[in-house]
């Protein structure tokens, strides 16, 4: 039996039930694919449900405010996905009359849609014969064919894509693509894959040569950067605080946060001399009290954020700069924030 036939047979017997597998509506497939980029099914699933409920059509998503989209995306991470999602929804709704592109080449032009996602939508929705190459596919192919080229090198990306093109089932590209991904997720797992009961173990080069746990090969991990965030949580008249939106191109772009003093370290002294207090025009005497005994360490895949929340009680604030806004305690939870702040807000403003 052919490679693709074995995978599809395995898939039809073992596939998990998922809501986006009940449709070929390109809006819903697109939504699910964007959400699942670098994201586990279990983590993305509740977001898919809330998005399809809140925004049943691409027009509903297009007509939403960006803050509303980001709020619903809160906690999923990689927030540029949400901003690109919204931009693409507006483009499809307003420029394309609500009709998604129906082929790989045109799908690829959409913001937030790269090679993988364009292939996934084109194959699942339109049966176009274009192979997906995601993390699962890299693993399955590198093991089965014993390919040692690093999967995150330019040569590797090209080589695996070319290999994938030769393997895809021309009769059923939709099920083939989902089959090899599901197979990688459930059977040919990163650690302790089920080689004994594997339906394609006979032809597997890695199993034959005892190199299953050495494949795929991946180039060096980036080193983790440490950063120090001092957040100023104002309590004005015990009912208002100050927030601001993150602009610029770094982490959490578009989300809101308390006034932030990033420093080489966490220190209450450097805070007191910060310029924000000049803008507040307050009486000089106020206390700055750390909320937690110890700093929080928020661990992201590429940086560790050593974070401190400082509570600053003020009677009244005459003036703040244009970027910052005062909001009622009850309103704080309505803004999209990083999960790090979301957890604090749930506790402090409850």
The label of the residue with tokens 């690829």 reads 108
Nearer to DNA, 149 or 326 (CB): 149
Nearer to DNA, 68 or 115 (CB): 115
Q: Which two tokens stand for residue 301?
A: 């895949």
Cβ-Cβ contacts under 8 Å for 24 (sequence gap 6 or more): 124, 125, 174
Minimum distance, C-beta of residue 320 to DNA, in the bound complex (Å): 25
Nearer to DNA, 39 or 127 (CB): 39
Candidates 22, 33, 66, 293; catalytic one = 33
Minimum distance, C-beta of residue 226 to DNA, in the bound complex (Å): 12
Cβ-Cβ contacts under 8 Å for 108 (sequence gap 6 or more): 114, 115, 118
Minimum distance, C-beta of residue 236 to DNA, in the bound complex (Å): 26
Residue 196 CB: number of other CB atoms within 10 A?
A: 7
Q: Is 69 helix (H, G, I), strand (E, B) or coil?
A: helix
Q: Which two tokens stand for residue 187?
A: 């059977």
Minimum distance, C-beta of residue 78 to DNA, in the bound complex (Å): 5
Q: In angstroms, what is the C-alpha Rg of the chain?
A: 25
Minimum distance, C-beta of residue 255 to DNA, in the bound complex (Å): 8
* H/E element, 44: helix 41-54
Nearer to DNA, 288 or 339 (CB): 339
Give long-range contacts, CB 8 A cutoff, 24+ apart: 25-30: 25/125, 26/100, 26/102, 26/121, 26/125, 27/57, 27/58, 27/100, 28/52, 29/120, 29/121, 29/124, 29/125, 30/88, 30/100, 30/113, 30/117, 30/121
Nearer to DNA, 93 or 159 (CB): 159
347 included as an active-site residue: no
Q: What are the backbone angles phi and psi of residue 146, rounded to the nearest 5°?
A: 65, 35
Minimum distance, C-beta of residue 325 to DNA, in the bound complex (Å): 21
Q: Is 326 helix (H, G, I), strand (E, B) or coil?
A: strand
Minimum distance, C-beta of residue 238 to DNA, in the bound complex (Å): 28
Residues that bind DNA (CB under 7 A): 18, 20-21, 32-33, 36-43, 75-80, 84, 111-118, 120, 134-136, 138-139, 152-155, 178, 181-182, 184-185, 189-192, 216, 218-219, 221-222, 249-253, 298-303, 338-340
Nearer to DNA, 134 or 232 (CB): 134
Q: Which two tokens stand for residue 272?
A: 């007191």
Per-residue DSSP letters for 207-259? HHTT-GGG-S----PPPPEEEEEEEEEEEETTTEEEEEE--SSSTTTT-EES-
Nearer to DNA, 88 or 324 (CB): 88
Torsion sign, CA atoms 87, 98, 17, 173: negative
| Residues noted as catalytic | 33
């Amino acid at each position: 039996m052919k490679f693709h036939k074995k995978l599809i047979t395995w898939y039809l017997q073992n596939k998990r039930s998922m809501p986006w597998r009940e449709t070929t509506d390109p809006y819903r497939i697109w939504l699910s694919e964007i959400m699942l980029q670098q994201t586990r099914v279990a983590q993305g699933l509740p977001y898919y449900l809330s998005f399809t409920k809140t925004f049943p059509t691409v027009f509903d998503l297009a007509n939403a405010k960006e803050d509303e989209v980001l709020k619903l995306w809160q906690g999923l991470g990689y927030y540029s996905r949400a901003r690109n999602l919204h931009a693409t929804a507006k483009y499809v709704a307003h420029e394309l009359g609500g009709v998604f592109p129906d082929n790989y080449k045109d799908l690829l032009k959409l913001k937030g849609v790269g090679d993988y996602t364009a292939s996934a939508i084109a194959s699942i929705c339109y049966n176009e014969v274009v192979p997906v190459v995601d993390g699962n596919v890299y693993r399955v192919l590198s093991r089965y064919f014993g390919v040692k080229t690093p999967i995150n090198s330019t040569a590797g990306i090209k080589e695996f894509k070319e290999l994938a093109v030769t393997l895809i089932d021309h009769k059923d590209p939709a099920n083939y693509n989902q089959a090899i991904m599901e197979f990688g997720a459930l059977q040919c797992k990163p650690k302790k894959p089920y080689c004994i009961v594997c339906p394609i173990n006979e032809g597997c080069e890695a199993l034959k040569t005892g190199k299953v746990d050495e494949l795929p090969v991946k180039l060096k991990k980036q080193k983790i950067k440490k950063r120090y965030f001092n957040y100023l949580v104002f309590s004005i008249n015990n009912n208002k605080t100050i927030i601001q939106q993150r602009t610029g191109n770094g982490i959490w772009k578009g989300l809101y946060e308390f006034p932030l003093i990033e420093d080489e370290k966490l220190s209450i002294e450097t805070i007191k001399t910060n310029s924000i207090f000049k803008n507040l025009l307050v009486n000089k005497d106020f206390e700055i009290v750390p909320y937690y005994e110890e700093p929080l360490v928020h661990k992201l895949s590429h940086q560790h954020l050593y974070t401190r929340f400082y509570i600053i009680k003020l009677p009244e604030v005459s003036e703040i700069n244009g970027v910052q806004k005062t909001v009622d305690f009850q309103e704080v939870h309505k803004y999209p924030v990083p999960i790090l702040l979301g957890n604090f807000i749930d506790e402090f403003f409850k």
